[in-house]
Amino acid sequence: MQTHDDFSRQYIDRLIQLAFDEDLLTGDIATEGIIPTRQTAEAVITAKADGVVSGLGIARMVIDKMGENTFEALVDDGDEVTKGQTIAIIRAPYNNLLSCERIMLNFMQRMSGIATMTRRLINLMTGNHTVLLDTRKTAPGHRMTDKMAVRHGGGFNHRMGLYDMAMIKDNHIKAAGGIAPAVAALRKKCALSVKIEVETTNLQEVEEALQAGADIIMLDNMDNKTMTQAVKLIAGRAKTEASGNINEQTIAGVAATGVDYISVGALTHSVKALDISMNLRQQA
């Protein structure tokens, strides 16, 4: 029987293979033409800016596809690093390192950028019980690695996809004829283990979601005063999630309303990659 870990490994393997296919379709023309022998080299991966590292495990999987190597990680995924700090040292055939350099850095830079932003937002919420969540607003194909990076940054994952949690949004409510019938329809069809979340935009909808028995109530694009009122109204009878254009300037105020969760799509849909480099040196 396939486990979730098996699925995750196969998913990432396919993603890495796609990266190889798009970059090395028929080979590496420059490297194969200049370095015909398989002389050994050492690659030093360095942070070019302060941040949180993510993607070391993926980089190791990338170089492993090229053959025998020695991968020495000097930090762990989730560790904070400073500009100029060495992250890892890899020893492998020179041509293998050159051919997969960009693939490794593409994963690490994106994932480290996500982890860095996640950590930054969490630090801005210090003193509150609120948990930072990601969303489904990820790069196609990178859902699992994007969400892995959020965890490395200290955040938590919202639903992985449409299959592992039920979120009733405005268009569902319109189609069902209201919040109550939408929740009732799901309760009849879903397993008891499936959480049901309802998106609300005002206090009336919050009350409707409460009465319908929602497990989580999303407070979508509400101002802080309204969210504070909503949290008091719900009074722990459901979990609360704030969502909608939350950023570094606003997140502390949103957390202070007492919500259980804050979801931020920008963690993964507006990624600023962390600058990371790889420099090679020939071995004797």
Candidate list 60, 65, 137, 159, residue with the active-site label: 137
Dihedral Cα 219, 220, 223, 228, nearest 10 deg? 0
* 151: annotated active-site residue: no
CB of 167 within 8 A of CB of 159? yes
* 146: annotated active-site residue: no
d(CA 145, CA 113): 12
- DSSP for 137-196, please give it: ---TT-HHHHHHHHHHTT-B---SSTTS-EEE-HHHHHHHTSHHHHHHHHHHHS-TTS-E
* 68: annotated active-site residue: no
Residue 250: C-alpha distances to residues 46, 183, 227 (Å): 33, 31, 13
* 169: annotated active-site residue: yes
- The 86-93 sheet, strands edge to edge: 70-73, 86-93, 40-47, 276-282
Kindly state the tokens that stand for 180. Answer: 């109550």
Q: What angle do CA 251, 254, 259 make, to 5 degrees?
A: 125
CB of 42 within 8 A of CB of 280? yes
Candidate list 169, 174, 232, 237, residue with the active-site label: 169
* 199: annotated active-site residue: yes
Candidate list 102, 174, 232, 237, residue with the active-site label: 102
Q: Is 168 exposed, middle or buried (0-12, 13-18, 19+ CB in 10 A)?
A: buried
Candidate list 146, 205, 208, 220, residue with the active-site label: 220
Query: What is residue 82's DSSP assignment?
Result: -
Candidate list 146, 199, 205, 260, residue with the active-site label: 199
Query: What is residue 130's DSSP assignment?
Result: P
Catalytic residue numbers, as ranges: 102, 137, 169, 199, 220
